[in-house]
A and B are shown apart, each in its own frame.
Chain A
Amino acid sequence: MSEYEGKVRMVFKDLPLPIHALARPAHEAARCAGAQGRYWDYHARLFAEQPRFEREDLVRYAVDLGIDRDRFVACLDGRHFAAAVQADVEQARALGITSTPTFLINGRVLIGAHPVENFRIVIGDALRRLQGP
């Protein structure tokens, strides 16, 4: 959606689902990668490799990206970002969000994986609303 370049900011919020036993460590691992400046690369790797999220997998993904292994492992095993991930979970709960993915586009909700065209409609509407009458 290059037509929206400069007009859209994207924020990712962690919502590991309880039915996915290995999900929470994966979310924490992504933040550990982010602590070394590689969040989005690691994020993409996790989606590509799902559901292979055993500890050795998570470490391997970091090493493959050139992330400092010792720092990453200390972060992951020390659960440095456990509270931050839990904060996202609680914020989702406060909003009544239980499904993934759920998108809030200037407050409007899209639940589930929608075609790109649906996003264009909602984003376009949001931009028009901001322009006013």
Chain B
Amino acid sequence: MNAGALHLPALGGRLGMGIGVDLPWSGRIGFRRAAEGDGITEPLRNFLVANRTAFHYLFFAFQPKDRNRLRPDAYFAAYDELFSFVPDFRTRGFHQTMLNMGSMEPYERKDLITFTNSLIARYGFSWVVEDLGLWSIAGKTVPYPLPPFMTREGLRACIRNVREVSAGLDAPLSVEFPGFTEGTNFYIGDYDAFDYFREMADQADVAVTIDIGHIISYQWLRGNQGERMFIGLERLPLDRCFEFHLSGCAITKGKFRDLHHGVLLDEQIDLLEYLLPLCPNLQAVSYEDPQYTDDGVLIANSLRNFERMKNLVDAWTSSHVL
């Protein structure tokens, strides 16, 4: 299946490696509120300036600024400043966190889609991504998005929700494979996650994002560790895969944890190398939530596998013949 039929972003080929960042409105790395105008924190600014040529695109995850009704212009000052520091990043993505596409309860997305489209119009986001899952229940967030209900009814709800979002957005939607066992995370239902994800993508006719750590977390749950982590991957919708995510993971007390702490595991690099040639429509590989000093320098223990990832992705990018 070719990229055009899949409603993938029209990016003109492989982008190479980009960064994905979660930007809350408090803390060291993120947005800051200021009477003179909102903006970004200094470590983030330093990191972006220092890495202008190391990466090729940026996406960031949406976090609400306050408890007001969503108004796009309330976010313009901060978002304008963010992109002003990476003028060469012509391609931009947007990671939503409120679409809640795994939900089986009434959930009104119209205003949220309108809000997102306003941001797409202003910043030219080439795609919108969100993990398939339960980000909130009865209007209250969970500490980490739970996988969707892994039942037939849950799958039907996902297909319905993904179709609604995909039809409403003014940029292509890419649905991300959910995370399993993240420290405050469990799932309900025994539907095979790879089959579930493929059926959702095919029925909703949507592009997908594969988070390498999320795949390993699911394999780990099923006892598929080591060389067994490659079992069954052909059942994923690899031809629909537009983007990979890699974020810092760890194995703690026998459980696989997606910690977003910047340090990639060897298993993630091995799986990246395995999957790169199997995804014919892959265009982007995102290093999610790098960790760095206040001067914007990547933390030392993240460097080894960061370099391995970068070398793989650079080779993949340059090997593409249009």
Bind each other: no
Q: Which residues of B contact A (CB under 8 A)?
A: none
